[in-house]
Structure 1
Amino acid sequence: MFTSLALILLASLGAINASPIALTPRQGGVQVINNCYQSGQVALTFDDGPYNYEQDVANALNGGKGTFFLNGNNYGCIYDKVDQIRSLHEQSHTLGSHTWSHADLTKLDEGGIHQELEKVEQAFIRILGLKPLYFRPPYGSYNDLVLKVLSDRGYKKLFLWSEDTGDANGESVGYSEGVLDGVANSYPSPHMVLSHSTIQTTSSDVLPNSVWKIQQAGYQLVAVDTCLGDSGEWPYEYVGEPGQPDGSWTCY
C-alpha cells in the first residue's frame, strides 16, 4: 500500500515539473524598443551566448553594465554555463531571452514560437529562479504572431538596436571600432548597440579600446532597463529560488 501511494506521489510530482510554465498575458501588448531614451547613456548589448567570452566582455566594460540576450542551445548549451550566468546576474548585468536555438520566429507556427521561448524560460527559472521578460528576436525578425505570443507569455519589451558592430557578420575589428567611434563622437545622443559575446575579438580587441573612448566622451555604459529611464522596469518575473543541476538540466 505504501509503495503504491509513493509511486502515485512521485508520478504527480513529475507531472508538475513537466507542466508548462504558467502564463500571465501582458496587457497592452509588447513594446518594441529601437534605442535608448536617456541622454548621455549607451547600452552595449551582446547576443548568442552563453559561450566562452561573456566574462571577458563584462570585464572589458570597465565598470559599466551590459545586456546579454541568451540562447538555450546555440554556440553551446546553457546548462553547461550555470556558474557563468549566475555570475553575470550577480554583477548586475541584465539577461534576456534570445530564443532556444536562435530560430527565425517568423518561420515558425504559434506552437513552435511558444516552444522556443518556453525552453529558455525554463532554463532561466532553473538557473536564476527568474523568468525573463525582455527579448531580442534572432536576426531582428518578428511579426504580429511573434508579438502576440510574447504578449501571451508576459514579455514586456522586444529589443532591436540603433547600431550594429557587424562582428557576427564577419566585419573586421576596425569596422566594429569605427561603429563605436561614431557612438563616442555623438555625445550625448543615446545609443543601443548590437554586438555578440560569442566573437572573441569583440572582447579581446574591440571593447578594450572602444569602451574607453565612449566613457571618455562622457557616456555612462548601462543595461537596457536603465537606459529607458522611467520606461524601464525590472526585466524579470520572480518564480522561486534557483535550483540545483541534475540529470534533467540538459539540452539533449
Structure 2
Amino acid sequence: MFAIAFTVLAALASINASPISSRQNGLQVINNCNVQGQVALTFDDGPYQYEQDVANDLNGGKGTFFLNGNNYVCIYDRVDQIRALHSQGHTLGSHTWSHADLTTLDEAGINQELEKVENAFIKILGLKPLYFRPPYGSYNDLVLQVLAQRGYKKAFLWSDDTEDASGASVSYSENILDGVKNDYPNPHLVLEHSVIQTTSTDVLPNSVWKLQQAGYQLVAVDTCLGSDGEWPYEYIGEPGTPDGSWTC
C-alpha cells in the first residue's frame, strides 16, 4: 500500500529539516534553497495574463514559473508568452495538466497529467521539463515513483507561502516577504501565484526592492540549489509551429 499523501501541512512541517530529501531513484524533494544570499520566488498556476508583469517586477532577477496545461487558460493560447519567459532566462516547470491532486489518481491518471503538459512544453519550446511542483503540495510514494520513471529530477515544495491564492491580503503577503528580507542572508524558496493580479500589481512592486536592498539575489530554483541544481530540461528538438492540433 502506498504511503498516505503528504499535505501542505506536512510540507511546511518539513521546512526545518534538510532542504533536500532524496527519494525514489534519485528524485529529490526540495523544501528550500541552498545558497546563502539567494531567494527563489516561484509562481504557480499559469499561464494566464500576468506572467510578464511578474517577470518585469523582478527588477532584473529571475523567477520560476510552474505551469499548468489547462487551468486558467489553455497553454497553447500562450505560446508567445511562454517563449518570452524562457528567452528571458526564467525557469519553467510542470505543475500538471489540470492542477489535479495527483494523490487522488491512479498510475495511469498521474502519467496522463504529466504527459500532456510535457507534450505542450516539447511543442512550444522543444524541451521536456525535469522540474515539478505538485498541486497543493500533495504527493505520495506513487506520485514520486511515476515522476522518477518519467525522468524528473526535482519536486519542489517551499519554505515560505505568501498565501496569495488562499485569499490573503496584500499586507499579509508583503509581511511574509518582509520576514524573508529580515532573515538575510539565509536562503528562501517562496510560493506565489502568477494568476493573482495583486501579486504582480501590489505585492511584488512593494517587496522586490526590499529583498534586493537587503542584499538578496532573486534567482531561479536551479540556481539557488547551487551544486545540487542542474539544467531543468531535457532537449528534445526544435520548437514546433502552432497548428490545429495545438488545442486543449
TM-score if structure 2 supplies the norm length? 0.90
Deviations 1:57-94 (A, max 9, x none): 00000000000000000000000000000000000000
Gaps in structure 1 of 5+ consecutive residues: 1-25
Name the SS of the counterpart of 1:131 in structure 2: strand
Contact 2:24 2:144 in 1 (8 A): no
| 1:30 to partner: Cα distance | 1.0
Contact 2:132 2:155 in 1 (8 A): yes
Q: 4+ residue runs of structure 1 moved beyond 6 angstroms?
A: none
| 1:203 to partner: Cα distance | 0.4
Indicate the residue corresponding to 2:71 in structure 1.
74
Distance 1:143 1:189 in 2: 29
2:100 to 100, 103, 106: 103
| 1:29 to partner: Cα distance | 3.1
Larger Rg: 1
2:30 to 29, 33, 36: 33
Deviations 1:183-231 (A, max 9, x none): 0111000000000000000000000110000000000000000000000
1:142 to 135, 139, 144: 139
Indicate the residue corresponding to 1:151 in structure 2.
148
Gaps in structure 2 of 5+ consecutive residues: 1-22
Aligned residues: 226
Distance 1:29 1:217 in 2: 35
Contact 2:164 2:199 in 1 (8 A): yes
Distance 1:73 1:52 in 2: 14
The one-letter code matched in structure 1 to 2:135 is P
CA RMSD of aligned residues (A): 1.0
1:84 to 72, 75, 81: 81
Indicate the residue corresponding to 2:46 in structure 1.
49
The one-letter code matched in structure 2 to 1:190 is P
Indicate the residue corresponding to 2:243 in structure 1.
246
Deviations 1:120-174 (A, max 9, x none): 0000000000000000000000000000000000000000000000000000000
Residues 1:59 and 2:52 are matched in the alignment: no
Any residues of structure 2 matched to 1:196-211 within 5 Å, and which? 196-211=193-208
Contact 1:44 1:192 in 2 (8 A): yes
Indicate the residue corresponding to 1:10 in structure 2.
none
Distance 1:151 1:206 in 2: 35
Q: Percent identity of the aligned residues?
A: 82
Indicate the residue corresponding to 2:160 in structure 1.
163
